[in-house]
Amino acid sequence: MARRSLSLFKALTKTTTSFSLTPIPISRSVTYMPRPGDGTPRSVTLIPGDGIGPLVTNAVEQVMQAMHAPLYFEKYEVHGDMNRIPAEVIESIKKNKVCLKGGLRTPVGGGVSSLNVSLRKELDLYASLVNCFNLPGLPTRHENVDIVVIRENTEGEYAGLEHEVVPGVVESLKVITKFCSERIAKYAFEYAYLNNRKTVTAVHKANIMKLADGLFLESCREVAKKYPSIKYTEIIVDNCCMQLVSKPEQFDVMVTPNLYGNLVANTAAGIAGGTGVMPGGNVGADYAVFEQGASAGNVGKEKMVERKKANPVALLLSSAMMLRHLQFPSFADRLETAVKRVISEGKCRTKDLGGDSTTQEVVDAVIAHLD
């Protein structure tokens, strides 16, 4: 089931060239046969977060309510200046297994580590996924971009191991393990297989970091052997970024260590329309946290929060991913279709997409376009 709906989603995102003229199909001949009881509302943990977080998560709440989606939110206030994620929030996510979250502010140089990162570590959400694609009707510099960046989320440069060796000399450890490299590679290939993707590209800097990135590549190569139908390629991270800004259509699924994934995902998001529209999430063996795809920790500028003009599209599309993850495929389709219609109509867009709408105006438009 999951495979079918995901590939359908891909088919939907692929219809980029023939926008506005042909309506995006929403009905299909093969329907989803739920198990008895699958319509029981599910509880989902909701973390509105800081800055624009409450604005965009509220957008999702409104749309879910308008759709009568079979889920209800358990809302928890978490803020970036807390020392750690409160235990009850972790408990809630562990119980619900699914969470929707706005960005948490990370204080720079305040000696407090990023809660966005610590949540991923605590729940062992080892894979971060960002889907960067052209939205029909939204003009960008590049066309035919449809890239999925799968990023290792728990180790690498984000290990958080730093110390001052002597005054004026600081060391930071990048840790790469076989275990984590293998499981992210497996997830990337599994994702490609389940979504009918053709190529997986490993991004690295093994010419310089021979051991660390070398281990990552070695793990990817081993896993690649088990998926002969999927093409496996490797690219050095600097060349990757250069290729992204010149020929992004060559990329399909990308698998990366932690930091490179952060950069690659943001670059890919930028060329396809901006971080305000790219969905994504973090997933581990047991739990999934859905958030804005690229720049998930971005809480926006104060002016944007005051004027209530944050773009809710990324989180709305992420919630569609969440609905599909919860096995509510037709709700996911409806939400996605409505969002895409609003974008392709072009009447209601936030500032980052060249419009001047408020978050609420976009939400109202999406609700009006729901079938």
Partner 1 sequence: MALMQVLRRVLGGSCSTQISSTARAFSSAPAPIKATLFPGDGIGPEIAVSVKQVFQAAEVPIEWEEHYVGDQIDPRTQSFLTWESLESVRRNRVGLKGPMATPVGKGHRSLNLTLRKELNLYANVRPCYSLPGYKTRYDNVDLVTIRENTEGEYSGLEHQVVRGVVESLKIITRQASLRVAEYAFHFAKTHGRERVSAIHKANIMQKTDGLFLKCCREVAEKYPEITYEEVVIDNCCMMLVKNPALFDVLVMPNLYGDIISDLCAGLVGGLGLTASCNIGEAGIALAEAVHGSAPDIAGKNMANPTALLLSAVTMLRHLELYDKAERIQDAILNTIAEGKYRTADLGGSSSTTDFTKAICGHL
Q: Which of 209, 284, 344, 370 binds partner 1 (CB under 8 A)?
A: 209
Amino acid at 64: M
Distance CA 48, CA 55 (A): 8
Query: Minimum CB separation from partner 1 for residue 175, in Å?
Result: 6
Nearest to partner 1 of 35, 162 (CB atom): 162
Query: Minimum CB separation from partner 1 for residue 341, in Å?
Result: 24
Distance CA 9, CA 178 (A): 32
Contacts of 235 (CB under 8 A, 6+ apart): 201, 202, 203, 204, 243
Q: Which of 43, 62, 114, 344 binds partner 1 (CB under 8 A)?
A: 114
Amino acid at 368: A
Q: Which of 21, 27, 68, 168 binds partner 1 (CB under 8 A)?
A: 168
In terms of Cα–Cα distance, which of 147, 136, 90, 370 is closest to 279? 147
Asked if 199 and 231 count as a contact pair (C-beta separation under 8 A), the reply is yes
Footprint of partner 1 on residues 123-152 (CB under 8 A)? 141-142
Binding range to partner 1, per CB under 8 A, among 35-43, 187-195, 260-268, 321-329: 260-268
Distance CA 234, CA 188 (A): 14
Nearest to partner 1 of 261, 329 (CB atom): 261
In terms of Cα–Cα distance, which of 338, 281, 6, 291 is closest to 153? 281
3-state secondary structure of 329: helix
Distance CA 49, CA 57 (A): 9
Footprint of partner 1 on residues 277-316 (CB under 8 A)? 294-295, 297-298
String marking each residue 40-69 x if it binds partner 1 according to CB under 8 A: ------------------------------
Q: Which of 52, 90, 215, 255 binds partner 1 (CB under 8 A)?
A: 215
Query: Minimum CB separation from partner 1 for residue 251, in Å?
Result: 13
Question: Residue 283 pairs with which residues in a beta bridge?
Answer: 127, 288
57-87 CB burial, b ≥16 within 10 A, e <16? bbbbbbbbebbebebebbebebebeeeebee
Residue where the block lists tokens 């749309």: 63
String marking each residue 171-190 x if it binds partner 1 according to CB under 8 A: xxxxxxxxx-----------
Query: Minimum CB separation from partner 1 for residue 244, in Å?
Result: 7
String marking each residue 217-246 x if it binds partner 1 according to CB under 8 A: --------------------xxx-xxxxxx
Nearest to partner 1 of 53, 329 (CB atom): 53
Query: Minimum CB separation from partner 1 for residue 113, in Å?
Result: 8
Nearest to partner 1 of 178, 347 (CB atom): 178
How many Cα atoms sit within 13 Å of 164 on the Cβ side? 3
Asked if 224 and 123 count as a contact pair (C-beta separation under 8 A), the reply is no
The reply on whether position 368 binds partner 1 by CB under 8 A is no
Length reported for the chain: 371
Query: Minimum CB separation from partner 1 for residue 51, in Å?
Result: 14
**Size of residue set near partner 1 by CB under 8 A:** 61
How many beta carbons lie within 10 A of that of residue 162, not counting itself?
9
Chain contacts with partner 1 (rule: CB under 8 A): 106-109, 111, 113-114, 117, 141-142, 157-158, 160, 162-164, 167-179, 205, 208-212, 214-215, 237-239, 241-246, 259, 262-263, 265-267, 269-271, 274-275, 294-295, 297-298
